[in-house]
A and B are shown apart, each in its own frame.
Chain A
Amino acid sequence: MSTTSPLRPKRSPLLTGLMLLYLVYTLVPLVWLLLSATKTQSDLVSSPGLWFGDKFALFANIRDTLTYDNGIFLRWLGNTVLYVVVGAGGATLLATAAGYGLAKYKFAGRRAVFAVLLGAVAIPGTALAVPTFLMFSNLGLTNTIWAIIIPSLISPFGLYLMWVYATDAVPYDLLEAARIDGAGEVRIFFTVALRLLAPGIVTTLLFAVVSTWNNYFLPLIMLSKPNLYPLTVGLTQWSNQATGVGARPIYNLVITGSLLTIVPLVVAFLLLQRFWQSGLTAGGVK
């Protein structure tokens, strides 16, 4: 880390203490979730929230979560992975190509593209959900995986990031040199530009993965078959079963399932820290 001041100010215990308070607020719900996932249904009610119960039931809970209702949780996990790989992967590819095109080519209609994109982004995404549902319903796409994948393919934030990133990261000279060598535009993109864009691509991919992994509203309205649900909709379904009329005591499954849903993303963010933080800083220049 570089210092932000040439004077190298002293570290302040007061400031660190205040930030620790905020850190506690950030961590308390996560710690609660972690501890609750180790408890049996009866310990959940009888033991204090921020301490362990009588029995350590984490592994039993995980087994129950994965096997409940013929292993539907694993099915939801598989669906989520499918939506993320195709949706977020496709979104990253489209945003990278389009950002690169907008940054490095001057073509007729480029300004119009900007105007349309900016205008459309200001419109709330969820306001589009109902009309999108009706449209997809007429096209016979509801209750198919495409109802989730196709809308996930557009990431306006990703496009913005890649456009800003490509502007600085890919020098014109390099592109011109490749053209003189006789390389076609598509080949230049894949062999020259992609490598230079890598940190931006990782950032865009990570944020696309988060938004697809966390997607709730879209699958909620598009899907009525539980075997197509992603984890988010499946978990809320379980939660409704646990609280609604004729409730089944499956709180431990909702809690353990929630924990299992969080883990992959948290791990991804921690492992890829170096990439996405440098990618974001570059995006913040403009």
Chain B
Amino acid sequence: MHRDTKGWLFVGPFLAVFALTFLAPIGYAIYLSLFRDQAFFGGTVFVGLDNYVDVIRDPKFWESFGRVLAFLVVQVPVMLILALLAALAIDSARLHAASFFRIVIFLPYAVPGVVAVLMWGFIYGNNFGLAADLNDLFNTTSIQPLSGRWMLPSIANIVTWEFVGYNMLIFYSALRTVPEELYEAAAIDGAGTVRTIRAVKLPALRGAIVIATIFSIIGSFQLFNEPNILRTLAPNVITTYFTPNMYAYNLSFAGQQFNYSATVAIVMGVITAIIAYVVQLRGSREAL
């Protein structure tokens, strides 16, 4: 390691832009959250933590929070287990055409989220989607992915479709780093497939699983694109506060309530950071 302040030469530019695009908005959001618009006189007035108290008591906020929580409790495990199984299968040497599977399963990641939602939105729809075809086929009208009951699973399906391949690749990359000797040792000990997976592969995957879980949790709490785009197809099902992020967005851009919107964003940020931290802590403790 070279001891030299010249390191700043390389890190400095990144940090300068980082300060402008990450630190300054965080600081500005905190500042905004301490003020409130005055209804009659115009201008803003310092209100301390009143906005935070309002968010904590806001049923719309908690409804949206509960929704993404329910979403993440089901969607994240399903997605990560699918990705894990795919990675283990591709790494197992028991699969025909493994590299073909790897690249095709990863492909949805290259599809812009917006296009994925538009595509699935059409497919779900009753005009010319596959849902309509299925209903015709079975002579029924009961397949309605965009109805209130099915909306959350329908969104979960889109997110799963988009990100299984990406997570699979993270897991697969981690599996590739397992040294060949470990497999040889396991084989000499007479370990079968299941034991090799449990004793060699899963421990090697622990770090990757923790990272993928944290990123998936953050992604779920940020849920915005999918419901916001599907809203044009199902305006009665998806409210303006369907997710916390949509709530913050609509407070700002439909309601001009910038101070309250900033407060909602900060509260969500803090909750997300705490949960990500706890997952990381638990993940690394179990690794010891």
Contact residues of A with B, CB < 8 Å? 1-13, 15-16, 18-19, 22-23, 25-30, 32-33, 36, 44-45, 48-50, 94-95, 97-98, 100-102, 104-110, 113, 116-117, 119-120, 122-135, 150-151, 153-154, 159, 172, 175, 185-186, 189, 210, 213-214, 216-217, 221, 231-233, 235-236, 239-240, 243-244, 251, 254-255, 258, 261-262, 265-266, 268-270, 273, 277, 280-281, 283-286
How distant is the Cα of A262 from the Cα of B118 in the complex, in angstroms? 12
Q: Is the Cβ of B32 less than 8 Å from the Cβ of A131?
A: yes
Say whether B74 faces chain A, with CB atoms less than 8 Å apart.
Answer: no
Please determine whether A266 and B18 come into contact, CB atoms closer than 8 angstroms.
Answer: no
- Please determine whether B161 and A26 come into contact, CB atoms closer than 8 angstroms: yes
**CB atoms of A107 and B8 under 8 A apart:** yes
Contacts of A6 in B (CB 8 A): 180, 183-184, 187
**Who on chain A is nearest to B248 by CB?**
A130
Q: Is B233 part of the binding interface, using a Cβ–Cβ cutoff of 8 Å?
A: yes
User: Which secondary structure dominates chain A's binding surface?
Assistant: helix
CB distance from A53 to the nearest CB of B (A): 10
Interface on B for A, CB 8 Å cutoff? 1-11, 13-15, 17-18, 20-26, 28-29, 32, 82, 86, 89-99, 101, 103-116, 118-123, 127-130, 132-133, 161, 164-165, 169-170, 173-178, 180, 183-184, 187, 193, 196, 207-208, 218, 221-222, 224-225, 229, 232-233, 245, 248-249, 252-253, 258, 261-262, 265-266, 268-269, 272-273, 276-277
A-B contact pairs, 12 of them (CB 8 A): A3-B93, A4-B178, A6-B187, A26-B108, A107-B7, A110-B7, A113-B11, A124-B222, A131-B32, A262-B111, A262-B115, A286-B207
- Give min CB distance, B230 to chain A, whole Å: 10
Give chain A residues whose Cβ lies under 8 Å from the Cβ of B24: 135
A239 vs B122: C-alpha distance when bound (angstroms): 10
Structural contact, A94 and B249, CB atoms closer than 8 A? no
Which residues of B sit under 8 angstroms from A283, Cβ to Cβ? 173
Instruction: With A16-B95, A49-B128 as known contacts, state yes or no: A94 contacts B14, CB within 8 Å.
Output: yes
**Shortest Cβ distance from B221 into A: residue:** A124
Q: Could you tell me if A105 and B1 are in contact, using CB atoms closer than 8 angstroms?
A: yes
The number of residue pairs between A and B whose CB atoms lie closer than 8 Å in the complex comes to: 311
Interface of B (DSSP majority class): helix
With A7-B187, A125-B222, A134-B28 as contacts: A45 and B127 at CB distance below 8 Å: yes
With contact pairs A15-B89, A261-B112 given, residues A280 and B253 touching in the complex (Cβ less than 8 Å): no
**Which B-chain residue is minimally distant from A279 (CB atoms)?**
B173
Q: Which residues of A contact B25 (CB under 8 A)?
A: 128, 131-132, 135
Q: Knowing A122-B218, A150-B17 touch, does A23 contact B180 (C-beta < 8 A)?
A: no
- Which of chain A's residues have a CB closer than 8 A to the CB of B249? 129-130, 221
CB–CB B123/A106 < 8 A: no
Contact call B120/A5, Cβ cutoff below 8 A? no
Q: Closest A-chain residue to B22, C-beta based?
A: A120
**Is B10 a contact of A97 with CB atoms below 8 Å?**
yes
Instruction: Establish whether residues A44 and B128, one from each chain, have CB atoms under 8 Å apart when the complex forms.
Output: yes
Question: Which residue of B17, B112, B119, B208 contacts A213 across the interface (Cβ within 8 Å)?
Answer: B112
Please report the C-alpha to C-alpha distance between residue A107 and residue B178 in the assembled complex, in whole angstroms. Answer: 33
Instruction: Determine how close the nearest CB of chain B comes to the CB of A211; give it in whole angstroms.
Output: 10
- A9 to B, closest residue via Cβ: B94
In the complex, chain A residues whose CB is within 8 Å of the CB of B129: 49
* Most chain B Cβ neighbours within 10 Å, of A1, A45, A113, A214: A214
- Are A104 and B2 in contact, with the CB atoms below 8 A? yes
Say yes or no: B104 contacts A49, CB within 8 Å.
Answer: no
* B176 A284 Cβ-Cβ under 8 A: yes
* Chain B residues positioned under 8 Å from A44 (CB to CB): 127-128
Q: Complex: how many Å from CA A246 to CA B110? A: 33
8 A-B pairs with the lowest CB-CB distances in the bound complex, closest first: A105-B7, A101-B10, A284-B173, A98-B14, A131-B29, A107-B7, A214-B112, A131-B25
